[in-house]
Amino acid sequence: MNIKVIVKGKTKGALLISKNPINFLGGIDKKTGQVRDKNHDLFGKSIANKILVFPFGVGSSVGAYTIYSLKYNKCAPLAMICLKADITTASGCAISNIPLIVAQREDYESLKDGQEVSLDAIEGNIL
C-alpha cells in the first residue's frame, strides 16, 4: 500500500466511513463523539473508538482543539484515514496523539464500512 504517515501509531478496530468531509468544530459533539451536523451522511452516528475514514477536514483550524477534547473525553476515533491531509486534522491528531495516515485513492476506496482492520501508522499498512 502507498500510505503517507502523518501521525505515527498502531491500532485495531472497525472502520467508519464518511462520504462527506468533516468539520470538527461544530460538526461533532466533543463530549460524545456524535456527528451533529444534520446534513452530514454520518448524522447521529458516533465516531468514538472507530477508525474514522473521511476525505479531509474542513472549517476552522480551531477544530483541532475539538479533536483534542474528543480524546480528553475518551470519545475520539482510534485513528483516522484521509484522502488528503489538511492542517486542522493533522494538528488535531498530532496534539491528541491519534494515528493519522493519508491513503492513495485506490487503497482508500477499497476500504469497507464496518470492516475490522489493524492499522500500522509506523510502517504504513492496513491489514
Q: For the chain, how big is the Rg over CA atoms in Å?
A: 13
Q: Which residue of the set 18, 46, 60, 61 is catalytic?
A: 60
Interacting residue ranges for other proteins, rule: CB under 8 A: 4-8, 30, 61-62, 64-66, 68-69, 72, 85-87, 90-91, 93-95, 97, 100, 102
Residue closer to other proteins by CB (options 86, 120) is 86
Alpha helix ranges (H) inside 7-119: 24-27, 63-72, 87-96, 105-110
Q: How far apart are CA 31 and CA 75, in angstroms?
A: 7
Residue 100: CB minimum distance to other proteins, A = 7
- The x, y and z cell numbers of residue 45, run together, are 452516528
Residue with cell 491528531: 93
Residue 47 Cβ, how far from other proteins at the closest point, in Å?
A: 16
Judged by CB, which is closer to other proteins: 85, or 111?
A: 85
Active-site residue flag, 60: yes
In eight-state DSSP terms, residue 57 is B
Q: Which residues are catalytic?
A: 60
